[in-house]
Structure 1
């Protein structure tokens, strides 16, 4: 994409408003916390002290809006601790400009590394740099600096207490994540009724998995209706896909297809009801009409073979989900991770080793996080150096703007940069006009600041430009409480904001982290993860041990993550003003389609796998483990070829598959495997050897599609 088109695209996204994400109650609670701290500090101290307290309360409140599944009070307290520490250290170094610039650069570098822990940690760490720049100019002695650090921490404590005293939708984020996953599964069931090969986006399932990771304290307090529902819901996906797929499920047309559509429609209704129950926390009933749709027709079973097997399993899973609606509080104490439905999340004290491991993993030149940390550290130091040389009273607006807009990827940096510049200019102009025309006193300025922060909290998830304008007005009114000049500082802020935005954008242009050049590595990881998942699904037929069954689940999660990473990189690369010279966009698209077919077939293998307690138990299929090893090795070799930008050759997989089919005395379908399976329809048997051979044939077809996409 040319630079002009890339800038146009990112500018458009910068001014996009997403009204559906407004949360007025949360905004009012956050503004109330700022008001308590600001007016309290004004009553007990000076305007400078009140400014520090209000900035601490604002940033701590902002932390509670981040998309994190940790307790909101912990986020507020963590942000306050970082803010108070940064301001005190910054003040100690402020008498010596060279030392302060060095400390600022190192602190900004560390804040950039915090993105290794996730977006929430990265955003909160960035705010500590901005507050350091503002607050170090307010105290005049070390005791005053300690006092300012203390009131900043007090602002965070107030916000944390308000979260506890005025809760808004307790466990709301976790409820929404799990309910969205059920709703996405309901939508998938509806689409399967009309399109047996409908694609499925696992993003909602991945989000639900992230939300299910809890600390020990959270696990003890978690509502019963959030426990034990995620894994059974995920088991429905392969079963529904197996039922709808005409190759291995219901016939493409006729009574079997009608019955499959009826069951899928009932599944969608039940899943929607479960989603509503989880979202609200209230028991909900399923209609009798829906239950009747799941009952065996009066004329007897319509589905046969694997289709009937999938339908019975799906009906059982739906019955369990429906039963849990009637008495959600009856869920007892569980011990197994699969039964509990949540994963262990490290506590705050346990985060240090996790943080160290994350930083070490990103400590390499190709890491976007490390490159971002180097950029933001250098720009913060350079911006502060330029600000110190300018004859301005508040020379920190340039580095402040640069730090706040910079993100690890091009699209966000440029879109936020444009939005920040436009919002800051607008905020400065409006606030300056208000001050010039009304000449408000200290308390009126404080009231205007609270009104601005209420607007910022309201728009924090709906448009960065609007939020930037509100935040800028907030800072202007806070700094005006001591009666300092308005017009000259307004001009200075506009000019320095433009300078800071230009520094941020130029830094990315000079030292970029293009996702476009990372596409081969992301695609290779997707191919390798898909091969491991397919191999695990085949291997369990050769050795149905508990370890191999767990491997299917683990490799599926890796496959989902690799797919999500590739999609994210592809979306970011689409907005970058560069293109990859070796890997074409059409190749990436075709390879993704082939890997999607591979993943879908692995799901079918998983769906046809009998339960561990099934009687009779699954008899090992000869040669399955060996073919699984071939799949794993050949896809790993193909992934390496993708990384080296070499043609992919997967012909050995077809040769080994043909030999395996002859060994089991069940030759593969003649001609195209897909057509043969559709002709056979649901009349195929349920013998494990027959099922795994047939599905493995589809795996080979998918890998041949991958070779065709990347073999030229």
Structure 2
């Protein structure tokens, strides 16, 4: 496993590298992701970008075809969701804002400082919109990109022609995407739930074995559950009343939760589960994905411990619910609470955006950089000047990753893409030959995007250059200004969007981690809170489920934040590497708490309230120390009494977390 994250396995977060070797953060960013090639998306992208060109050549209007292909390009980049209804939002809403953006840009084309002012205001709004969520972020990006293109290129008259053509390209991508809906309408949701089942099966298979292997499988469970709940609950929020198929999918997802809770107990027990257990879970996964209604035949060995009894009971319960064509609606009460209506959530999002300091701060950063980029190209003659602002927009997306590493990777990706673009522009004659070339280049975008940002940039660069050449007819002369403008944009983003903002290069991961430790303390209290009667017991169980799901989701976000910080250069990257062991420790604390609760549910004596309060107090003390210290620190650990109770593993995990040190001397 040392090839994946060397800083996790070298003491104190230091790496031993040759003085002339590239820095570890750059090597980590250049390593391609282990993601499968999305063949369907690649075929769809090739068709979406090449057909408009063919139509344009057939009608002797290649510029119109190029604009439609540009609109299709943004649709291809934004088509990242699984569920069809989410894909409609991911493609259609950005196209709407993109049409507005290019219309505004077209209206100020050639108006000098008026264009600078308008694009700066658009950048402010785009940055603030991006803070709302994933779809809003993509929409804000397309909004600003199209405004920059409209203000920097002489587009066809009248002013509404370009917006219509760009929108037509996005709608063409949407049409191609929706062709499979009649045949695969529920398949994305079913596939996501089945993936969650298989992830749980893998975790159960690793339970009782080496800790690193189990920790990795548990992370996959968290990601799969997050994805499944996002898809299913996103669908539920748009359905008035209850859909029978939706009730079944949600019930199948919810009955997986007891198995998820039993996995840590089985792992801490220290003995591998019988192979029949993960095999049965995989069989349930196949039943979910294929929509079977027949009851599966379970051939499970008799459980030998409390943890195995918990796994056995959860598995048999899931086996009774999964095949039901019309399950009890009680099982469809999701563990995160029923989502609010889309209109209500949209209102909350807009209110939060307007009142958020972070939203305004990012909007101002983006507006400053775009304003400077446009001012620079207004004062200095720069060929194809709109590429400077385009580069700034692509790089300055903190929700997409580290600004610093994105600037470096964009420069590297652009250079790699220019090599391919130079060959295309030099050797391929303009005309009908552009159609098959575009089909091939466009298909590379989804395939390379799955591998990482630098690969995506390398794939997009020749496509944009080929489309730009169809609009400007500059041929090979586009290569040099494209590289120069990209380097200027990267420099503006680095200096004015990164170095001048201390929050960019001073890691804030400690605050997120301290909040997670506080959440762990609350979860410990919630897990063992006393109850007075049966109604209180049911309420406590539901509260416990919701608390556990939220903390695992938050920890997943903390992990993502750390992964982003690890790609930063020192000192941010090295500090994040030093904090990393505590992230793992907090996850294990939550696992130990869940395992203890499962053991109590299956006959172990409940811990006394004083012991629970002591553990929660230790965690809050740790959170306060993390929050007040810029680096990790060593704490004095009081001697714990020898306890063999149900919380003994939790005591060990808390002690391990409190013993972690940051040895910066």
Provide the TM-score with structure 2 as the length reference.
Answer: 0.82
Say if 1:154 and 1:5 are closer, same or farther in 2 by CA, change over 3 A: farther
Matched with 1:318 is 315
> Are 1:645 and 2:629 an aligned pair?
yes
1:630–1:653 Cα contact (<8 Å) kept: no
Deviation at 1:333, TM superposition (A): 7.0
What is the DSSP-based 3-state SS (H/G/I as helix, E as strand, rest coil) of the residue aligned with 2:115?
A: helix
| Whole-angstrom CA distance in 2 between matches of 1:337 and 1:635 | 34
Deviation at 1:213, TM superposition (A): 1.8
Deviation at 1:107, TM superposition (A): 1.9
User: Pick from 542, 560, 563: which aligns with 1:568?
Assistant: 560
What is the DSSP-based 3-state SS (H/G/I as helix, E as strand, rest coil) of the residue aligned with 2:280?
A: helix
Matched with 1:690 is none
Say if 1:11 and 1:702 are closer, same or farther in 2 by CA, change over 3 A: closer
User: Pick from 336, 354, 359: which aligns with 2:353?
Assistant: 359
5 Å-filtered alignment, 1:80-99, equals 80-99=95-114
Matched with 1:672 is 642
Matched with 2:253 is 230
| Whole-angstrom CA distance in 1 between matches of 2:506 and 2:281 | 39
Deviation at 1:509, TM superposition (A): 2.9
| Whole-angstrom CA distance in 2 between matches of 1:370 and 1:209 | 30
1:631–1:653 Cα contact (<8 Å) kept: no
| Whole-angstrom CA distance in 2 between matches of 1:711 and 1:457 | 41
| Whole-angstrom CA distance in 2 between matches of 1:427 and 1:651 | 55
> Are 1:293 and 2:300 an aligned pair?
yes
| Whole-angstrom CA distance in 2 between matches of 1:546 and 1:461 | 43
| Whole-angstrom CA distance in 1 between matches of 2:446 and 2:392 | 21
5 Å-filtered alignment, 1:146-157, equals 146-157=160-171
Say if 1:128 and 1:44 are closer, same or farther in 2 by CA, change over 3 A: farther
Say if 1:126 and 1:651 are closer, same or farther in 2 by CA, change over 3 A: same
1:583–1:645 Cα contact (<8 Å) kept: no
Matched with 1:207 is 227
1:383–1:398 Cα contact (<8 Å) kept: yes
**Residue ranges of structure 1 left out of the alignment (5+ in a row):** 247-251, 297-301, 655-670, 678-693
For 1:591-638, what per-residue CA distance to the aligned partner results, in whole angstroms no more than 9, with x for missing partners?
446534532332133213549xx9xxx99x8963x7656665664454
RMSD: 4.1
For 1:161-190, what per-residue CA distance to the aligned partner results, in whole angstroms no more than 9, with x for missing partners?
222224485555534432332222212222
1:410–1:512 Cα contact (<8 Å) kept: no
For 1:7-48, what per-residue CA distance to the aligned partner results, in whole angstroms no more than 9, with x for missing partners?
733443454334643112222123323344444455568443
For 1:309-329, what per-residue CA distance to the aligned partner results, in whole angstroms no more than 9, with x for missing partners?
x4444323222333456x46x
| Whole-angstrom CA distance in 1 between matches of 2:659 and 2:261 | 27
> Are 1:386 and 2:376 an aligned pair?
yes
| Whole-angstrom CA distance in 1 between matches of 2:366 and 2:82 | 23
Deviation at 1:221, TM superposition (A): 8.0
User: Pick from 471, 476, 480: which aligns with 2:460?
Assistant: 471
Provide the TM-score with structure 1 as the length reference.
Answer: 0.77
Deviation at 1:453, TM superposition (A): 1.7
| Whole-angstrom CA distance in 1 between matches of 2:176 and 2:342 | 21
1:73–1:161 Cα contact (<8 Å) kept: no
1:192–1:244 Cα contact (<8 Å) kept: yes
Deviation at 1:153, TM superposition (A): 2.0
Which has the greater radius of gyration? 1
5 Å-filtered alignment, 1:546-565, equals 546-565=538-557
| Whole-angstrom CA distance in 2 between matches of 1:39 and 1:501 | 34
Matched with 2:326 is 331
Matched with 1:269 is 279
> Are 1:486 and 2:470 an aligned pair?
no
Matched with 1:689 is none
| Whole-angstrom CA distance in 2 between matches of 1:171 and 1:459 | 28
| Whole-angstrom CA distance in 2 between matches of 1:410 and 1:627 | 43
Deviation at 1:67, TM superposition (A): 7.0
1:189–1:240 Cα contact (<8 Å) kept: yes
